[in-house]
Chain A
Amino acid sequence: AQTVTQSQPEMSVQEAETVTLSCTYDTSESDYYLFWYKQPPSRQMILVIRQEAYKQQNATENRFSVNFQKAAKSFSLKISDSQLGDAAMYFCAYSEGGYGGSQGNLIFGKGTKLSVKP
């Protein structure tokens, strides 16, 4: 069974600095997707960034980027120029690729709580 592990329960960063959140996963599949979701105190799950396993290039969305190491099964999130609004729980998630059946189901890590200090 696939698993997702986030080893940092809490992280803290100074405003305008850079922080990296870690995520490792275990799978025997070759076609899959990886995601980072943000959950602010409002509870809403917000997609931050998405990576397709077959793409070697790391995904980037504005201040958010990932370091995807497929062989090491590592998928870290880097937040540059941290802002107060970045404070939230961040969840790493995995889903299999393909179509039909359970392939779309997300498997989540336990999350990392990010605090941003002014």
Chain B
Amino acid sequence: NAGVTQTPKFRILKIGQSMTLQCTQDMNHNYMYWYRQDPGMGLKLIYYSVGAGITDKGEVPNGYNVSRSTTEDFPLRLELAAPSQTSVYFCASSSPGTGQNIQYFGAGTRLSVL
């Protein structure tokens, strides 16, 4: 069982470059999330999606964009990368309708912007 898969695992960007972090899940979960984790901190929500075609901002959305064209995929786009976006990014999925409210996480992407 693959669960939640994130690519790439590591990436170094130059200031002003753009990139897309990929996330896919094979659990048929409606809900998907993107978090960032800064050093010594807990995870903070960037964007979330409650289903294909529906996305909404979380706590720290500035500098990011998302789309959700399928149930499986939820890519995160960084436009004009800045050093403040150096972080570890986690994608997660869940199915709150089951009453479980358990989020399953990918392995994370470590991003450095230099």
B53 at the interface (CB under 8 A from A): no
> Cβ of A44: which chain B residues have Cβ within 8 Å of it?
105, 107-108
> Cβ of B96: which chain A residues have Cβ within 8 Å of it?
98-100, 103-104
B105 touches A45 (CB 8 A): yes
Interface size, A (range): 20 to 34
A102 touches B56 (CB 8 A): yes
Interface positions of B from 63 to 101, Cβ below 8 Å from A: 88, 90, 92, 94, 96-97, 101
Give 1 or 0 for each of B51-65: 1 = CB within 8 Å of chain A CB: 000001010000000
> Cβ of A109: which chain B residues have Cβ within 8 Å of it?
42
If A44-B107, A47-B102, A50-B102 touch, does A104 touch B40 (CB 8 Å cutoff)? no
Give 1 or 0 for each of A79-102: 1 = CB within 8 Å of chain B CB: 000000000000101010111111
- Interface size of B by CB at 8 A reads 27
> Cβ of B50: which chain A residues have Cβ within 8 Å of it?
100-101, 104
B111 at the interface (CB under 8 A from A): no
Shortest distance between the CB of A30 and any CB in chain B (Å): 15
B103 at the interface (CB under 8 A from A): yes
Shortest distance between the CB of A41 and any CB in chain B (Å): 12
Docked complex Cα distance between A51 and B103 (Å): 14
Interface positions of B from 9 to 43, Cβ below 8 Å from A: 31, 33, 35, 40-43
A43 touches B48 (CB 8 A): no
Shortest distance between the CB of A96 and any CB in chain B (Å): 9
Using CB atoms and an 8 Å cutoff, list the residues of chain A in contact with chain B. Answer: 4, 33, 35, 42-45, 47, 50, 91, 93, 95, 97-111
Using CB atoms and an 8 Å cutoff, list the residues of chain B in contact with chain A. Answer: 31, 33, 35, 40-45, 48, 50, 56, 58, 88, 90, 92, 94, 96-97, 101-105, 107-108, 110
